Structure 1
Amino acid sequence: MTPAQLSRTVLHTVRRAVEDDELCVVVPERVKVRTPPRAGCGDYATNVALLLARGGGERDALVIAEVLRRRLVRTPGIARVEVAAPGFLNITLDAHSHAQLVRAVRSAGPRYGHGEALAGVSVPLGDSDEVRAALVGHVVRGLVDASGGVVIAGRGPVVRASPVSGVELLRSLGPDAARWALLRPAGHDLPDLDPSRLLSQREDNPLFRVQYAHARIRALMRNATQLHITPEPQPESGAYDHPAEIGLLGLLGDHPRVIEAAARHRAPDQLARHLVGVADAFLRFHDLFHDGCPVLPSHQHKPSAVHRSRLALADATGAVLAGGLRLLGISAPEHL
């Protein structure tokens, strides 16, 4: 189950509760679900009960949340729903829903997250001669298009100007690092243009980690092809129940929302930081299982359902990294 599908499920649950006279509230047009800010709070959380109880206080929100909890927990694909004060619903999906998400990402490939979230929405954006503002504007146009919105005339992006010209940036950093340097910081922050940090192939360089994670995934997929192993999420295998896997799945599921938010707020830095989070989560996932149950089996072992499931998760992660880097105009290397 993808976040978009879960959002529709929660909205449908609200509507049915109103139709059955169990709730007396105005049904919203849409419901948002988000990845919880900390572990142990389910796969997704929603504040819909708080919004429905607006003006009624915490007690009403908790009552509404409990009504929705009882209904949601009976929904196929949802394993557990918990109510947390002052009225949040923390939703845990079952293994079949996780497998469905992996299949959805792999099916869409690098275009996963593109959609119609901003259909009918006009995003004002103007041109600029300053190199950083011009680059941000160009990337935002692509993000808006990927989200189904339309760019209309407006002022250029408000960002702190680059202290050096575009030509100098390309000469000292190359295209990938130059773009990353200008796009990753929030618009109000001054970009770090130090080549020793931006071109470093070490773990303290976020761009390196993102590109390395993608290259590592592509190497896994090449090795899997040589071993005749087909990636396929198999929920009965016991995969996708470790916190490292669940955390990575949550970030993949959040990718469409991040693209929409980056487009709506004209802030490609949100996408850049999200990609760092995805890469770091993948590297933790990969390193954690390297000794116990690696993504690929050693030569003396036969591939199991767990291997195929984790390989599919790695492949889905590669699609998200490739698609996100493409939206930023940065290469996703096959080798590094």
Structure 2
Amino acid sequence: MTPAELSRTVLGAVRRAVEEGALRGPVPERVKVERSRPGGSGDYATSIALRLAAPAGRQARDVAEVLKARITDSPGIARVEITGPGFLNFTLGDDSAGALVRAVCEQGTRYGYGDGLAGTRVRFAPADELRARVITDTAVRLLVAQGADAAVEPGGEERITAVPAHGDGPGHEKHDGPYNDGPDDDAPFARVGRDAALWALLRPAAHDRPLPGEGLLVQNEDNPLFRVRYAHARSRALLRNAADLGFAAGTTTTGLTTAFPQGTAAHDAPATPLLTALGDHPAVIESAARLRAPDRVARHLEATADAFLGFQHTVLPMGDEKPSATHRSRLALAEAAGTVLAGGLALLGISAPEHL
């Protein structure tokens, strides 16, 4: 079960409880689930019971008990616990890693797209400044990816402003036309290239200065854009190397639970950070869309790339070792990581080359 599926499962439990009369009050549009924090338990947690307590006129722990009864035994959930004043904590089933990888493989670069903002209409006013236009265009893509009706139109109600940069680097010029329509407007893109310029404009929060574009051309680990694109290229190289060795990715339940058994050292490192990053990807995209904050996607891509680069060395057989179900499963996870990186970069308008 992916975090997005878990969120829908909890929301369904809330809806059933209200329909059955076990709870009263409005049904929320969405339920936020997140990684369990210190002091919690399980894999994920939600504070939805605390949110529903006042409208229901009941204690949060009572609300949590009502929801727990309707969530326990759901496919993909091994255990539901209540902690603190009413937090619901979820331990996923042994095949949670397999389900996550299969979801990425099935959805491809659209993994993380959803309908959390379906029915929402957003119209942005055209921006005058280059960076504001880039952020606006990206925000539109993020909103559409979450089911919203979003566009840039004259007379739009929303406007994104960006702090002008000072000194060298893309974003400090003031322009009159679309960012890819004129020689003056193209200046930062011509200087460092489109991909580096977009990253320089989008990676910092809108109220922060753009990054120096020239530093994003250096191909080393200090360059976050290079790490993200290199991680994608490495994932594709692993697929080619595996094909040369005569095996392909596999997402069978047995293989994945062997590769990433719950509660073992093999699960704790180095696969866990990567599984966590992939599982969090849909929530990051939805949050970035709601807040009109593409920088959240960029930061998450960095974390995903770093987690993958710490995992990649476990994928292929070593020495005389023969390819096994474990290797096929790890290769599937590597493929999923590359897919998520490519999809995230596409939302930012940045290419994801297979060779670097």
> What residue in structure 1 maps to residue 287 of structure 2?
261
Offset at residue 157 of structure 1 (A): 1.2
Whether 2:316 is the aligned partner of 1:307: answer no
Q: For 2:240, what is the secondary structure of its paired residue?
A: helix
Do the aligned partners of residues 54 and 310 (structure 1) sit closer, same or farther apart at CA in structure 2, a change above 3 Å counting?
farther
How far apart are 1:231 and its partner, in Å? 1.1
Alpha carbons 1:123, 1:150 under 8 Å: kept: yes
**Structure 1 residue runs of 4+, over 6 Å off?**
none
Alignment deviations for residues 296-321 of structure 1 (CA, whole Å, 9 cap, x no partner):
11352221221111111111111110
Q: Is the 8 A contact 2:24 2:55 kept in 1?
A: no
Out of 295, 298, 301, the position equivalent to 2:315 is 295
- Residues 92, 8 of structure 1: CA spacing in aligned structure 2 closer, same or farther, 3 A cutoff? same
Aligned to 2:217: 199
Contact 1:47 1:89 in 2 (8 A): yes
Is the 8 Å Cα contact of residues 36 and 43 (structure 2) preserved in structure 1?
no
The match for 1:318 among 309, 313, 338 is: 338
CA distance in 1, matches of 2:203, 2:85: 34
1:123 maps onto 2:93 in alignment: no
For residues 192 and 311 of structure 2, the distance between their equivalents in structure 1, rounded to whole angstroms, comes to 31
Residue aligned with 2:300, SS = helix
The residue number in structure 2 matching 1:225 is 243
Instruction: State the distance in 1 between where 2:275 and 2:41 align.
Output: 14
Structure 1 window deviating more from structure 2 (243-252 vs 84-93): it is 243-252
CA distance in 2, matches of 1:184, 1:65: 39
CA distance, structure 2, for counterparts of residue 120 and residue 149 of structure 1: 6
- C-alpha separation between the residues in 2 aligned to 1:61 and 1:164? 53
Q: CA deviation at 1:224?
A: 1.5
Q: Provide the aligned length of Structure 1 versus Structure 2.
A: 327
| 2:253 paired with 1:235 | yes
Q: After the TM superposition, which of the residue ranges 101-110 and 165-174 deviates more from structure 2?
A: 165-174
Query: What letter corresponds to residue 207 of structure 2 in structure 1?
Result: H
Work out the CA distance in 2 between the residues paired with 1:324 and 1:2: 17
Query: Amino acid of the residue matched to residue 7 of structure 1?
Result: S
Higher alpha-carbon deviation: 101-110 or 28-37 = 28-37
CA distance 1:56–1:138, change in 2 (3 Å): closer
CA separation in 1, counterparts of 2:132 and 2:45?
Answer: 35
How is 1:12-23 mapped onto 2 (pairs within 5 angstroms)? 12-17=12-17, 23=22
| Residue 158 (structure 1) shift | 1.6
TM-score, normalization by structure 1: 0.88
Normalised TM-score (structure 2): 0.83
Deviations 1:124-182 (A, max 9, x none): 31212311011111212222222221125234312112323643322332111110010
Matched, 1:329 2:349: yes
Write the distance in 1 (CA, Å) between the matches of 2:271 and 2:86. Answer: 27
Q: What SS is found at the alignment partner of 1:231?
A: coil
Percent identity over the alignment? 52
User: Which consecutive unaligned segments of at least 5 residues does structure 2 have?
Assistant: 165-170, 175-184
Cα separation, 2, equivalents of 1:33 and 1:239: 29
Aligned to 2:147: 148
Tell me, yes or no, if the aligned pair for 1:80 and 1:91 is still in contact at 8 Å: yes
- Structure 1 unaligned regions, length at least 5: none
Tell me the distance in 1 between the aligned counterparts of 2:230 and 2:37.
26
